Structure 1
Amino acid sequence: MPWRPYDELEEFPTLGYLVADWMTSFLLRPDTPDVQPFVPTQEQIDFLVDLYEIDPETCKRVKHRAVLSRPRGWGKSPFVAAIACVEGMGPVLCDGWDASGQPVGIPWSERRTPLVQVTATTDDQTANTWDPLLEMLRGSPAQDEYGVDAMDTFVSLRRGRIETRTSSATAIKGARAVAAIMDQTETWLPSNGGQKLAKTLRNNATKLGGVTIETPNAYTIGENSVAETTARFHEQVKLGRVKKEAARTILYDHRGAPLDTDISERKSLIHGLRVAYGDSSGDPHGCLIHDPPCSPGWVDVERTADDFWNPDSDPAEMCADFLNQISSASDAWLTQPEVRAIADDGKSIGTNEPITLGFDGSEGRKIGIADSTVLIGYSITQHHLFKIGIWSQPDGPKGEGWQPPRLEIEQTVDQWFKTHNIVGFYADPSAGWAGDVKAWEAKYSRRLKAKISTGEPIRWPQRNVSNTCEAFADLLAAIQQHQVTYDGDPQLTAHFLNARKVHRRAGYVLDKPADDKDYSKIDAAWGSMFAYKAGLDAVGKGAAKQARRRKPRRLY
């Protein structure tokens, strides 16, 4: 029998309600003096309904990857601990349809031996989820029903196990985990192996049709954390840049306070906290997101609001932790709202419109991670920046001894000069590209309107720090005043958000984050500045003016 919805409001089949009932029947509520069943809130049930969506055609689970982002104290850790338990024992797989046309749930153990992993980059992080998980199981109905032996370091099931892992990605490669809880992924950075660990966990889950679930707090933009890269992937999904088949496999559930929350005004702050905390907010009049009202939660938002005004509280840290507002580093060149505000992927570049180019080269590196080589374009009539090419070192063994594909890059530059109206080209020749820049100057200087100097029309003068500082300030002002747009390319976006201000006497230049010099890339921010500055100079030379048609001579 095919799926048949209960009513018109049911959009898809799901095992989420069965899962919620299983949690209440077999698990205990942690951190309570007396024995109580674990009862998910309505907000948590909504997440389960989406997480355990079933394809009505194939009877398979739809979601392969999930994110649950809430402020500190919302209850993420106990909730995902309950999910880890149900993945090990409960009805999480579809085994057809019942007489009412609803999915029938069975545990993983009826198909294979389940392994569930609670993962983080440190032991302290795994304890956030592991400690409540043990409380949920010890003395619970699940202990007898499923032969649970909840030990300090792992949980033995009648068939399968639940364990914690903080080891390196290579140590867990190939583990047949049906589910992985990835806690506090805002702290999973390239520098501590977090990105590699996340990739390995996802690959393991893919082999078995399993799931990974991230539980981050608000991340800091530009740190290149797992939470940030997942958020960028979700942005691409929202923009329609990911195939529908892949887009429907991710569940991204983030709730933060409204951006206009004023932490200096108590009423606005309390409202922002209630929105961010939802069912856990302890609202005496019922929560803000459900009707009928839910029962009061456990977070004292009045007390939390008071702590915002402690003299030693960091406002940015408090907004990230308790309002769940994604923040930028204090020295960030651009914030995410600023970048998002100028994204426009609907513009096309004509062959006749005046274009300027910006180039920043990299030589490659035998040891470590090389910088990227970038070629950025700028339409001076549409005021629009766009990626032409960003060549970066691949991850893993493929990247060992990597060098930028010099021939491909040279051909790309030549092709754009052949097919487009290039009126300016500024380039940084450092890292082994000085000879190429000289060749481009000899070949193309005559057609350029914008020139750095007569002798070196393309080569950017890095020693002229004041000129560089002024150019970055000009581009930042144009971005903040919405005088320019860009194509929304995710690589270009990442480079913008990674860039940090390094102050000089004349202003500032851009550099990588101090604690992540290897993995964070900012080269496209420099390339964009070169292209934009060339555009300004080209406009000053009349490149934006329409060419006048000469009247034909009259013959007598």
Structure 2
Amino acid sequence: MASPLLIVPEWVEQHCVIPDGDNRGNPFVLGDEQFTFVANHYMVRSDALVGQKAEAFIFRRSQLVRAQKWGKSPMIGAFVCVEGVGPVLFDGFASGREMYDCRDFGCGCGWAYEYDQGEPMGRPWSTPLIQITATSEDQTDNTYDALRPMIELGPLAEIIRHTGEEFIRLPGGGRIDVVTSKANSRLGQRVTFAPQDETGLWVKSNGGHKLASTQRRGLAGMGGRAIETTNAWDPAQDSVAQRTFEAPSKDINKDFRQPPAHLSFGDKRDRHKMFVFNYAGAPWVSVAAIEAEAAELVQKDKAEAERFFGNRIVAGSGAWLDFARWESKKATHVVPDKTPIVLGFDGSDVDDWTGIRAETLDGYQFTPTYHDGRPTIWDPRQHNGRVPRLEILAAFDEIFEQFDVVRAYCDPPFWQSEIDGLEAKYPKRVFRWETYRPTQMHAALERMKTDVMLPESQFTHDGDETVGTHIRNAVEVARPGQKYLIFKASETQKIDLAMSSVLAHEAAGDVIAAGYTADEDEYVYY
């Protein structure tokens, strides 16, 4: 069983001080949410070995997503301090009564920590190399300006004596540098810890993608790790934060505490409830002051205000669906075998995803499963670069066997022959539905959008995270005749499961409009 390196938060509270404000110079005490994040980042594997660095921990890197003014920069300053001179490397499991004594590491503060039996022990880096990183100097200043007084006003001043304007010299030949995407000469250097600030703004155009990948390679070479901090991002921008959050890797610690989906940022009372939720872990924040700031920003850019202060992923102009409304439609239902359902299928070959979505005739949409409970979603990257066609056809057969599939709408590109076969195998139930037709596709998009947006609509869904990601990625692109279609915000941001969902919902609407009832043996389609 994994266990946290608990000496780390204890060390932070003994050595770091509040960098500014009325309590400047007082001990820096972690809030509950901050403590949880620190403990999770330093979660040690039960089979960790002495000498291991990053691989001793459960997580290779961590991501913290919180609202503006929550206190991310001072907390990252504390991380930098402990990574610079504190016990952050695994040093074995205690047999009982072992001690960590600051005097053994050049600190005269007098603090000592006694380990419990079986508790992970820590030691400092011999030569810590830290890069405070962002895409602009204004962003790096947020952390660096909190870090310097955190050192200078407390016990760390005795062991970190050189806190310059541009870098900080550490014992053992280590140093803390400030790096932006423009500092090409520093990218790729050896690094043991990298706090990456506001990764929701790290996009391809400002060098953010390259910065993240280059720095991660430098960390991997040293056994180092990174922490991302950010506000919620615009899903249309394909930021580093979004890529991290959507990554399927299990060794990334993602801490994103979002307010209840049913709360509307446009409603002042709901907005207040959101702020109370978002800043519950930051009692030093005045909710009234946040409300005033947010109200002003709402007049200029509602989506940005909701991202910054509401801590919600909200697209700027062009987003197809209000994702908060989509989230508010989540429900958990068990769909019994032989239930009448419809299907939506959007297929690809080597790049985009392929998926089947199902919907009951009372409006519950879900991702069906096949063979050992696998979801009917296929990412070609997980299948040697090409979706497994025979497996997908087998999934269709299992779904038709399990449920009473009344109708299936299938988008034919790349799948013409397979859809021909399905039409022959399941006559009058499988139909081609070309999504490139502007008039029909616009109507289908509007039908689903309306049913998601209306509070009184019966439409609900299973909350499938991949589908949610694809819904967020979809942006409207205008077409003649006051119509629109949906496209990817960028090449890497897939929308295939959004298309499958639209097709399933369109099939459900058409079946109901045709007068289907569960007792009918034959159906008439228009």
TM over 0.5: yes
The answer to whether 1:188 aligns with 2:177 is no
1:292 aligns to what? none
Residues 374-423 of structure 1: CA deviation (Å, up to 9, x unaligned) = 4444454774332665555649xx99xx6x44xx3266236624762654
2:325 aligns to what? 338
Determine helix, strand or coil for the equivalent of 1:220. coil
In structure 1, distance between residues paired with 2:64 and 2:30: 14
In structure 2, the CA distance between the partners of 1:377 and 1:180, relative to structure 1 (3 Å rule), is: same
In structure 2, the CA distance between the partners of 1:18 and 1:375, relative to structure 1 (3 Å rule), is: same
Shift of 1:76: 1.9
Q: Which amino acid aligns with 1:441?
A: D
Determine helix, strand or coil for the equivalent of 1:250. strand
Q: Which amino acid aligns with 2:35?
A: D
**Correspondence 1:95-494 to 2 at 5 A:** 95=91, 96=94, 97-98=96-97, 101-102=115-116, 106-109=122-125, 112-137=126-151, 142-146=156-160, 148=162, 150=164, 152-153=166-167, 155-167=169-181, 177-189=191-203, 192=206, 194=208, 197-198=211-212, 210-231=224-245, 250=253, 252=255, 254=257, 260=263, 273=275, 276-277=278-279, 287=283, 297=284, 302=288, 304-310=290-296, 313-343=300-330, 347=334, 350=337, 352-362=338-348, 370-380=351-361, 383-386=364-367, 389-392=376-379, 394=381, 404-405=386-387, 408-409=388-389, 412-413=392-393, 416-417=396-397, 420=400, 422-430=405-413, 433=414, 436-437=415-416, 440-441=419-420, 444-445=423-424, 447-449=426-428, 457-460=431-434, 462-463=436-437, 465-480=438-453, 481=456, 483-494=458-469
CA contact (8 A) 1:256 1:324 kept: yes
1:75 aligns to what? 71
Mind listing any 5+ residue stretches in structure 1 that lack a counterpart? 1-9, 237-241, 281-286, 288-296, 365-369, 452-456, 550-556
In structure 2, distance between residues paired with 1:488 and 1:173: 39
In structure 1, distance between residues paired with 2:502 and 2:136: 39
Shift of 1:545: 2.3
In structure 2, the CA distance between the partners of 1:439 and 1:184, relative to structure 1 (3 Å rule), is: closer
Q: Which amino acid aligns with 2:411?
A: D
The two structures have a TM-score, normalised by structure 2, of 0.72
CA contact (8 A) 1:15 1:105 kept: no
Residues 76-121 of structure 1: CA deviation (Å, up to 9, x unaligned) = 2233123112211123345535366546865423xx4322222223
The answer to whether 1:525 aligns with 2:514 is no
CA contact (8 A) 1:68 1:215 kept: yes
Query: Which of 48, 57, 81 is 1:85 aligned to?
Result: 81
Shift of 1:181: 0.8
In structure 2, the CA distance between the partners of 1:378 and 1:322, relative to structure 1 (3 Å rule), is: closer
CA contact (8 A) 2:441 2:485 kept: no
Determine helix, strand or coil for the equivalent of 1:158. helix
Shift of 1:511: 2.2
CA contact (8 A) 1:257 1:325 kept: no
Question: What is the number of residues matched between the two proteins?
Answer: 482
In structure 2, distance between residues paired with 1:528 and 1:255: 24
Determine helix, strand or coil for the equivalent of 2:498. helix
In structure 1, distance between residues paired with 2:365 and 2:277: 37
CA contact (8 A) 1:61 1:93 kept: no
In structure 2, the CA distance between the partners of 1:447 and 1:544, relative to structure 1 (3 Å rule), is: farther
In structure 2, distance between residues paired with 1:262 and 1:335: 11
The answer to whether 1:534 aligns with 2:519 is no
Q: Which amino acid aligns with 2:432?
A: I
In structure 1, distance between residues paired with 2:511 and 2:349: 29
1:15 aligns to what? 8
In structure 2, distance between residues paired with 1:135 and 1:269: 34
In structure 2, the CA distance between the partners of 1:159 and 1:52, relative to structure 1 (3 Å rule), is: farther
The two structures have a TM-score, normalised by structure 1, of 0.68
